[in-house]
Amino acid sequence: MTLAIDSVIDKIERQMKKYKQKTRNHKDVASRSESMDSSSEEYDEYDENSKVVETKKVILEPMSLEDAILEMDESRKMFIIYRDSSSEKVSVIYRRDDEKYVLIETNS
């Protein structure tokens, strides 16, 4: 009985995080499209022999590690750069080929 209740609570928590992220993403669609437009302008500034071929600007959203993993699973992205909501530090999480995750945290 307790196991069933725990599994239902876990499922509800995942659904709440998913909904929370979806509403967060919906609000930021306009600002993301603006940043993508500006990155395409910067792309034109590089010459053909440059090692940097594209610049993307990222809006660092505050989220927990669990939220970042959930977003990666939903979108099938290979990595996410985010601001950790508990420590306010910039973090990067990426998925390895064996479907496990690696977390990179900054010290600043």
Specify the pLDDT at position 102. Answer: 93
Weakly modelled stretches of the chain, pLDDT under 70: 1, 25-48, 108
Q: What are phi and psi of 79, to 5 degrees?
A: -155, 160
Specify the pLDDT at position 92. Answer: 93
| CATH number for the domain harbouring residue 37 | 3.30.505.50
Residues 6+ apart with CB under 8 A from 64: 84, 85, 86
Residues 6+ apart with CB under 8 A from 81: 58, 60, 90, 91, 92
| Alpha carbons 92 and 9: distance in angstroms, whole number | 28
Which residue type, as a one-letter code, is found at position 96?
R
> Is the pTM higher than 0.85?
no
- What is the extent of the structural domain holding 22? 2-105
Q: Domain tally for the chain?
A: 1
